[in-house]
Structures are given as C-alpha cells and as structure tokens.
Amino acid sequence: MEWRANHILAKNRALAQERQKRLKTGANFESLAREHSTLPSRSSGGDLGWFGPGKIVPAFGVVCKGLGLGSISDVVQTQFGYHLIKLPGR
C-alpha cells in the first residue's frame, strides 16, 4: 500500500489547532500549507508525493493508513512537530 499526502507542519499544538479551525471553516489546505508550513514542501502546498510504510515516521504512516481519500487528520504529533495531514491518494 502506498499513499500520497500533503501536510502542514506547525511548531506547536496551538498553531496546528488554529490552522485546523481554519480548515474546518473552509480554508484551502494547500494555501494554508504554502502560507504556514515550516518545511520545504510548503512551496508545493505540502505535497509529500507517494510513499509506503517505513518511508515516513511511524505516527504519520498510521494516520495515513486510517484516513479516507480526501480526508484531513486531526493534529498529529511527531518528533518534528505537529502535523495536519490530507490524503489525496491511496
């Protein structure tokens, strides 16, 4: 199984939750990623491309496995910070 994911990475939970609220009120995921993510993938709307199990940190992979296509996760904590993950492909 492989997934394609976009993500927004925030430095702390409060920032991630603020962005999550904006998404729930209709903000565009890719635009928020371009504006606010802290990683180089921000320039592509948070697009991480295709990856499979073991190619990404475990917590991130677990969330991708459980998301429906087009869905956006709750805030996910990893050693890199706090993520919001969108799953456009499986």
Structural domain total, the chain: 1
**pLDDT tens-digit profile of 41-72?**
989 999 999 999 889 999 999 999 999 999 99
**pLDDT tens-digit profile of 13-42?**
999 999 999 999 999 999 999 999 888 898
pTM score, whole prediction: 0.92
Q: Which two tokens stand for residue 16?
A: 């991630």
Contact (Cβ atoms closer than 8 angstroms) between residue 7 and residue 78: no
Q: What is the CATH number of the domain that holds 59?
A: 3.10.50.40
**Which domain covers residue 20, as residue numbers?**
3-89
Spell out the long-range contacts of 21-30 with Cβ–Cβ below 8 A and sequence spacing 24 or more. Answer: 23/72, 23/84, 29/72, 29/84, 29/86, 30/6
